[in-house]
Amino acid sequence: MTISSRLRGGLSLALATTLSLGAFAGATAANAADEPAMPVETRAAAPFVAELTTEIMIGDGVGPGAMEFSHDGRYAYVVGVANGTLNVVDLEAKELVRTISLGSEYADGVVLNAAQTLAYVQVGTSYFAPNVAVVDLASGTVIATHTFKHTYINDLVLTPDESSYYITGSDDVMKVNAVTGEIEAKQTVGINMHAMVLSADNSKLFVKNNVYTQALNVLDPADLSIISILPTPGEDVHDLVLTSNPDVLYGVSFNAAISMSTITGEILTKQGVGTLISDIVLSPDETRAYTAVGRWGMAMSANFTTGVRSESYRTIPTGGGSEIGLNPVTGDLLSADTGYIGERGSSVTLINAAAVTDPEDQVATTIGQDVTFSTIVEGIKPHYGGGLRWQASTDGGTTWAELEGQNRSELTVEVTPETVAALYRVSFSDDFWGTSGVSEAAQIVVDGPKITREGDLPAGTVGTEYAPIVIDAAGQSDIAWSVDSVSRAAGGPAGLALDPATGTLSGTPAAAGDYVLTVTVTDSFGTDTKDFNLSIAEAATVPGPGEEKPGTEQPGTETPGTETPGIDGSAKPLPGDQTDGGSAPHTADGSGLAVTGNNAATALFGSVLLLLAGGLLLSGRVARRQ
């Protein structure tokens, strides 16, 4: 990994003093000739509100400059150009949390080691930074200061093993021991060597000088010997950025984002994006480059896919030169309002990456009510190819269709069976970021119908009207009941019916048995099913004329142990009497024991009564027959 820093705050003055004010003015005038026009803000009403930027104060007139980010993306380490400080900004809390004094009047570029325990900061006096301060970040103290004879340092690159670092100055390139500050190698290749980057394979050190020779110098990182010098006539490049393609570097000139060949030095593409720009950062996919145009008060985006800058911009403080960095974790940009000598800025601006929050499911209770899905929008600017569009899917998310006219941060839907069955999400795009995406899907959540009746159904009797019973349920106005099945080998309880509109079970059972009724209720929101036990008994037997009623004696029948009068009124002998030839006498109580004493008298009295009763019955029958 190559870690580098560039001269930030002193760019204008460094150029002017190294050449002459006239030479710098001439260079500026030449580039101003093809300066692009400022974007024009649309006056169309925005359909939604998004938080695009947040300004974070560092300190009045401190001139925030170069920056580095912590590995977790939580913190930014921002140099205070005008007061010689290193400032720690909490990007989540969006506030300054620490200021480290560097013991210098002036500071510029900063580089962190891989462990992020040390910071190497360019420091000096009188608006120049010819020295390097080594800062222990844990204690917040300067543990060493390496001094050099340069007028200033333009850029600093740490070697992969962190044993050395490279610096460019007004007239040479040096390799320096990172611990002792001793110069290990030195090379002079021109004047005002302004940008430097180490190749991904660490085999080449590219150094761009912008005066007289205007060349891309290719050096051996080991000893700084010259591998090649590639002419780049007419291009003052103030920053160099590696790409995934080892044959191409990106950079910025005064007004444009450029790409150049590392083999020939040829300028491959040039895209006007602003004016007097000095810093550039690539998007992760390398299709965009972002730069801060302090003179316009705008952060701009170069589009390498189309070759034409985006007209969508982000507002930053208007002033002098500005620096920009990309948070590798969140994808947000951070712009530093550096300003110029005598007009230093005071803040950094967090430029939010394009994002939407996922809409949440919405609970509905009745058909016809309205529910509203919503999303929180950040970093998306309407117009210029950016915006929101709500989408719906009726096939479970396989295909999606845009909902016409629904481009706000909220979507209101009327609850119907069709909308309950659909899914909803929001899609977004933004041309500044060159990105698009979709949220997770949400839906309308409803409580389906519920059978509330508990326990078995009341029992019934065959042939007897069943007392109507309602199978209670809660649901929408279109709720309907049905019996899905009846469990019994002999079939269902014929004669009973369930009213689908009211849930009332009624009728006259025609078949006995124990049944299990599976009842279902259905409405616009769904279904519910429950089993109920139902017992139907046989009808009670009612005797007809001349039929025996169960459990009673009918006239003309015998009861064991008694003597029943005959049709003529004479008494029939009891079974077992002496007259039937039996060997033992039959007692009146049927016990088989002899009846004597008072028992005999009682038996005789009972016989008389039986005879009298038999006569009455006989006379009654005769009377009826007459």
Residue 554 exposed, middle or buried by CB count within 10 Å (0-12, 13-18, 19+)? exposed
Residue 460 exposed, middle or buried by CB count within 10 Å (0-12, 13-18, 19+)? buried
Q: What is the mean pLDDT of the segment spanning 300-329?
A: 91
Residue 353: DSSP 8-state: P
What pLDDT was estimated at residue 128? 74
Q: If pLDDT is split at 50, 70 and 90, which confidence band does 600 have?
A: very low
The reply to whether 73 and 189 lie within a common domain is yes
Residue 443 has pLDDT above 50, yes or no: yes
The reply to whether 279 and 419 lie within a common domain is no
Whether residue 547 is contained in a domain is answered as: no
The reply to whether 332 and 433 lie within a common domain is no
**3-state DSSP call for residue 451?**
strand
What pLDDT was estimated at residue 394? 97
- Which residues, other chains included, contact 140 with Cβ-Cβ below 8 Å and sequence gap of 6+? 98, 100
The reply to whether 88 and 157 lie within a common domain is yes
DSSP letters spanning 297-336: TEEEEEETTTSS--S--EE---SS--EEEE-TTT--EEEE
Q: What is the mean pLDDT of the segment spanning 472-478?
A: 91
Judged by average pLDDT, the poorest of 17-21, 314-318, 432-436, 508-512 is 17-21
**3-state DSSP call for residue 585?**
coil
> Which of 229-243, 341-355, 547-561, 611-625 has the highest mean predicted lDDT (pLDDT)?
341-355
Whether residue 553 is contained in a domain is answered as: no
What pLDDT was estimated at residue 485? 72
What pLDDT was estimated at residue 234? 73
**3-state DSSP call for residue 96?**
strand
What pLDDT was estimated at residue 320? 65
What pLDDT was estimated at residue 294? 87
Q: Which of 351, 366, 396 is the last residue of a domain?
A: 351
Whether residue 200 is contained in a domain is answered as: yes
Q: What is the mean pLDDT of the segment spanning 1-19?
A: 42
CATH, residue 285: 2.130.10.10
- How do 442-446 and 362-364 pair as beta strands? parallel
Residue 577 has pLDDT above 70, yes or no: no
| HSE toward the beta carbon, residue 218, CA cutoff 13 A | 17
What pLDDT was estimated at residue 359? 98
Strand partners, 54: 350
**Residue 343 is encoded by which pair of tokens?**
């007009």
The reply to whether 202 and 126 lie within a common domain is yes
**Residue 479 is encoded by which pair of tokens?**
């709720």
Whether residue 398 is contained in a domain is answered as: yes
Whether residue 558 is contained in a domain is answered as: no
Helix (H) or strand (E) holding 423: strand 423-430
Residue 345 exposed, middle or buried by CB count within 10 Å (0-12, 13-18, 19+)? buried
Q: If pLDDT is split at 50, 70 and 90, which confidence band does 274 have?
A: very high
- Which residues, other chains included, contact 354 with Cβ-Cβ below 8 Å and sequence gap of 6+? 378, 379, 380, 386, 428, 429, 430, 432, 433, 435, 437
What pLDDT was estimated at residue 278? 81
The reply to whether 591 and 492 lie within a common domain is no
Q: If pLDDT is split at 50, 70 and 90, which confidence band does 213 have?
A: low
Query: Where on the phi/psi map is residue 181: left (φ > 0), alpha (ψ -120 to 50), or beta?
Result: left
The reply to whether 437 and 454 lie within a common domain is no
The torsion angle over the Cα atoms of residues 82, 84, 88 and 94, rounded to 10 degrees, is -10
Q: Which of 299, 439, 444, 313 is nearest to 376 (CA)?
A: 439
What pLDDT was estimated at residue 215? 87
What pLDDT was estimated at residue 5? 53
| HSE toward the beta carbon, residue 371, CA cutoff 13 A | 20
Residue 7 has pLDDT above 80, yes or no: no
Q: Which of 397, 412, 446 is the last residue of a domain?
A: 446
Q: What is the mean pLDDT of the segment spanning 397-415?
A: 96
**3-state DSSP call for residue 224?**
coil
**Residue 525 is encoded by which pair of tokens?**
């929101």
Q: Which of 472, 479, 481 is nearest to 524 (CA)?
A: 479
Residue 593 has pLDDT above 70, yes or no: no
Q: Which of 378, 450, 435, 438 is nearest to 402 (CA)?
A: 438
The residue behind tokens 């991904």 is 200
**What backbone torsions phi and psi does residue 580 show, to the nearest 5 degrees?**
-90, 10
CATH, residue 361: 2.60.40.10
Q: If pLDDT is split at 50, 70 and 90, which confidence band does 3 have?
A: low
The answer to whether residues 577 and 585 touch, using CB atoms and an 8 Å cutoff, is yes
Q: Taking the chain, what is the end-to-end CA distance rounded to the nearest angstrom?
A: 132
**What span, in angstroms and rounded, lies between the C-alpha atoms of 171 and 188?**
6
Helices then strands, each counted (H, E), the chain: 4, 50
Residue with the larger pLDDT of the pair 553 and 122: 122
What pLDDT was estimated at residue 623? 35
Whether residue 505 is contained in a domain is answered as: yes
The reply to whether 315 and 370 lie within a common domain is no
What pLDDT was estimated at residue 343? 84
Judged by average pLDDT, the poorest of 88-97, 322-331, 352-361, 479-488 is 479-488
Whether residue 377 is contained in a domain is answered as: yes
What pLDDT was estimated at residue 27? 43
Q: If pLDDT is split at 50, 70 and 90, which confidence band does 544 have?
A: low
Q: What is the mean pLDDT of the segment spanning 538-544?
A: 76
The reply to whether 166 and 53 lie within a common domain is yes
Residue 193 has pLDDT above 90, yes or no: no
What pLDDT was estimated at residue 107? 93
Q: Which of 429, 446, 463 is the last residue of a domain?
A: 446
Residue 537 has pLDDT above 50, yes or no: yes
**Residue 506 is encoded by which pair of tokens?**
């009624």
**Residue 269 is encoded by which pair of tokens?**
């593409």
Residue with the larger pLDDT of the pair 136 and 28: 136
**What span, in angstroms and rounded, lies between the C-alpha atoms of 112 and 123?**
15
**What span, in angstroms and rounded, lies between the C-alpha atoms of 29 and 251?**
20
Residue 614 has pLDDT above 50, yes or no: no
* Cβ density class 518-538: b for 16+ within 10 Å, e for less: ebbbbbbbbbbebebebebee
The reply to whether 500 and 456 lie within a common domain is yes
Q: If pLDDT is split at 50, 70 and 90, which confidence band does 45 have?
A: confident
C-alpha Rg value of the chain to the nearest Å? 51
**What backbone torsions phi and psi does residue 58 show, to the nearest 5 degrees?**
-105, -40
Residue with the larger pLDDT of the pair 440 and 108: 440
How far is C-alpha 27 from the chain's CA centre? Answer: 51
DSSP letters spanning 444-501: EEE---EE---SPPPPEETTSPEEEEE--EE--TT-EEEEEEEE-TT-S-TTEEE-TT
Residue with the larger pLDDT of the pair 1 and 269: 269
Judged by average pLDDT, the poorest of 7-21, 270-284, 287-301 is 7-21
Residue with the larger pLDDT of the pair 213 and 446: 446
Q: If pLDDT is split at 50, 70 and 90, which confidence band does 319 have?
A: confident
The reply to whether 100 and 119 lie within a common domain is yes
What pLDDT was estimated at residue 529? 95
Query: Where on the phi/psi map is residue 335: left (φ > 0), alpha (ψ -120 to 50), or beta?
Result: beta
Average pLDDT, the chain: 82
What pLDDT was estimated at residue 488? 60
The count of structural domains within the chain is: 4
Domain interval for residue 478: 450-537
**Residue 616 is encoded by which pair of tokens?**
């009455």
Whether residue 543 is contained in a domain is answered as: no
Q: If pLDDT is split at 50, 70 and 90, which confidence band does 559 have?
A: very low
The reply to whether 212 and 267 lie within a common domain is yes
The residue behind tokens 């190749």 is 199
Q: What is the mean pLDDT of the segment spanning 218-229?
A: 96
Residue with the larger pLDDT of the pair 22 and 211: 211
**What span, in angstroms and rounded, lies between the C-alpha atoms of 239 and 111?**
15
What single letter denotes the amino acid at residue 620? G
What pLDDT was estimated at residue 510? 92
